[in-house]
Structure 1
Amino acid sequence: MSQTVDRALSILPLLAQGPADLGQVAERLGVHKSTALRLLRTLHEHGLVYRQQDQRYRLGARLFALAQEAVENLDIREIAHPHLAALNERIGHTVHLAVHEEGEVLYIDKVESRYPVRMYSRIGKPVALTVAAVAKLLLADLPEPERRALAAKLDYPLYTPRSTPNAAAFLKELAIVREQGWATDLGGHEESINCVAAPIRGADGRVVAAMSVSAPNVVVTAEELLTLLPLVRRTADDISREYSGTTPPKEASA
């Protein structure tokens, strides 16, 4: 990277900490004020910085618009799928990816189990909000007032004796999920199906999606499935880093 570009880019994280005047920018970059001014003017022309009336500079609206546009155009499914496929190849069980949209949690990707017993879930199908592991992760990330409002209006069907019975129990479980950073559904929706899930986070730390591994207990016991949790969380972390841009894209780890 050229020295000029490097210096210009170094201004942005400085201004992210708050407005700064020309002298502060020059001092931080270790350059003469004339050089700093030239860089600031270039960034200003592109809308990346803005000069206030007090002559201090702050980040420009164009930078925020570009960031928002980039986030909106990210395809979490496209980024996650190689990682999901690699995990499926390693462990053999069904892997799901889900997102929270307009009050529903939907499967947006699925890699089938290699075993003869298959799950009926399908891409585009809503999950059972009060019991599904992916739903617990996505809903646990909501601000507390939203979690409470949602819990109060949900129905709590007793799919099995292990289903979440009421709003109080649901909120308690979401608090645990939020604290521990992972979730399970051990026979809560179907007695014969167990599931472990981990969150995928964006650059701001918020949960943007959730991935899970599910298997019938005739293939693997709940206890055996739980031993895969570190691998599931590691896969979710790899997807999170690639999605948020904190590491360059690479082959999916397994």
Structure 2
Amino acid sequence: MARASRPATDPEQGAAEPAGGVAAVERALLIVSAIEASDTPSELSEIAARTDLYKSTILRLLGTLISAGYVTRLSDGRYDLGPTSFRLGAAFSRRNAIAHRVLPALHALVDRGTESASFHVRQDAETRTCLFRVNSHHATLDRIEAGGSYPMKRGAAGHVILAYTGGKGPRYDEIRATGFAVSLGERDPSCAGLAAPVFGHAGTLIGAISLSGPRERFGKSEIERMKTLLGPVAKELTLSLGGQWPDGLRRSPLPQSKAGKRRASA
């Protein structure tokens, strides 16, 4: 796992507070983020490695975070998210207007027999976050979870986000021309995905809606069928969120002779 950058030099090294923020608050949030990023409870040494903070600083801030319920300490000495963190997540789901539009769209796709449906947004220059996820009814699934962070440059959803936020090159030209990104085995050799953009006001990108699952279920005919389902949903979702669908956005792939040359290898 990539090490998070330290927001400021630790006071124990005698450096000044960072401009524009309170160091202790930034470090506390960094600790919570480091715990959230792991699929299992974290040891102190693991938190230190992810945050690049001193253990003494982490322990001091953990005391406050535990008291406030953001973190909990388990009987084996490891740390995990506390009840306050879960309440914040639940509140986000209740109050986020996007959720009331996106989740029904994802459920509708899955109910029509598609692969698992997800909605991704940009986290930073290198990472995307899966905001919402609805698993398919198939017995075998890919490993994508709501709240999880994934590489921007690997996976269909990430390529859609890059294509509509300044990405350059033949692959991104094709995505902008067709409105779809296909990824075969980039993030996981056994998985594949198809994604389309969702736009907001003035045609700015909100995120990417995607279908993903085992690669063997992403043959050419299956992908074409998924496009006929995903494309209209992406447009309807854009309009329901008050967005503008770009004029002239095509909904069919480029001719095979061009697409085959342009598509990056999986």
Match of 1:105 in 2: 128
For CA contacts below 8 A with separation 6 or more, give which structure has more relative contact order.
1
Give per-residue Cα distances to partners, 1:142-177, cap 9 Å, x unaligned. Answer: 23xxx46xxxxxxxxxxxxxxxxxxxxxx3312221
Q: Is the 8 A contact 2:121 2:128 kept in 1?
A: yes
- Alignment partner of 2:145 out of 116, 122, 125: 122
Return the letter of the residue paired with 1:91.
Answer: G
Q: Which has the larger radius of gyration?
A: 1
Counterpart of 1:118, as a letter, is L
Structure 2 distance, partners of 1:231, 1:128, is 25
Could you tell me which of 178, 181, 184 is aligned with 1:180? 178
* Partner amino acid, structure 2, of 1:86: A
Aligned to 1:80: 102
Residue 220 (structure 1) shift: 5.1
RMSD: 2.1
Q: Given the two structures, how large is their TM-score scaled by the length of structure 1?
A: 0.54
- Supply the distance in 2 between the matched residues of 1:210 and 1:194 (Cα, whole angstroms): 15
Contact 1:94 1:112 in 2 (8 A): yes
The secondary structure found in structure 1 opposite 2:170 is helix
Alignment of 1:22-101 (within 5 A): 75-101=97-123
Q: CA deviation at 1:231?
A: 1.1
Matches of 1:245 and 1:118, distance apart in 2:
31
Instruction: State the distance in 1 between where 2:219 and 2:174 align.
Output: 23
Alignment of structure 1 residues 1-254 onto 2, 5 Å: 75-103=97-125, 104-143=127-166, 147=167, 171-219=169-217, 221-244=219-242
Q: Does the 8 Å CA contact 1:199/1:210 hold for their aligned counterparts?
A: yes
Unaligned runs of 5+ in 2: 1-94, 245-266
* Partners of 2:179 and 2:196 within 8 A in 1: yes
SS in 1 for 2:174: helix
| CA distance in structure 1 between the partners assigned to 2:201 and 2:96 by the alignment | 12
Q: Which residue identity lines up with residue 124 of structure 1 in the other structure? A: G
Rounded to whole Å, the distance in 2 between the matches of 1:204 and 1:231 is: 25
Deviation of 1:222 after TM superposition, in Å, equals: 4.6
Q: Quick one: distance in 1 between partners of 2:218 and 2:197?
A: 23
SS at match of 1:105: strand
The CA deviation at 1:92 is 4.0
Q: Measure the CA separation in 1 of the matches of 2:217 and 2:179.
A: 26
Q: How far apart are the structure 2 equivalents of 1:123 and 1:224?
A: 25
Q: Helix, strand or coil: the match of 2:241?
A: helix
Aligned residue pairs, count: 149
For structure 1, the residue ranges without an aligned partner over 5 or more in a row are 1-72, 149-170, 247-254
Alpha-carbon displacement from aligned partner over 1:106-160 (angstroms, at most 9, x marks no partner): 10000001111122111121222222111111111123xxx46xxxxxxxxxxxx
1:189–1:102 CA distance, 2 compared to 1 (3 A): closer
Shift in CA distance, 141/117, structure 1 to aligned 2, threshold 3 Å? same
Q: 1:202 to 1:74 in 2, by over 3 A?
A: farther
Cα deviation, residue 208, structure 1: 0.6
- Which amino acid counterpart does residue 157 of structure 2 have in structure 1? V
- SS of the residue 2:212 aligns to: strand
1:181 offset after TM fit, Å? 1.6
Q: Give the Cα separation in 1 of the matches to 2:243 and 2:223.
A: 30
The letter of the residue matching 1:229 is K
Contact 2:203 2:243 in 1 (8 A): no
CA contact (8 A) 1:94 1:214 kept: yes
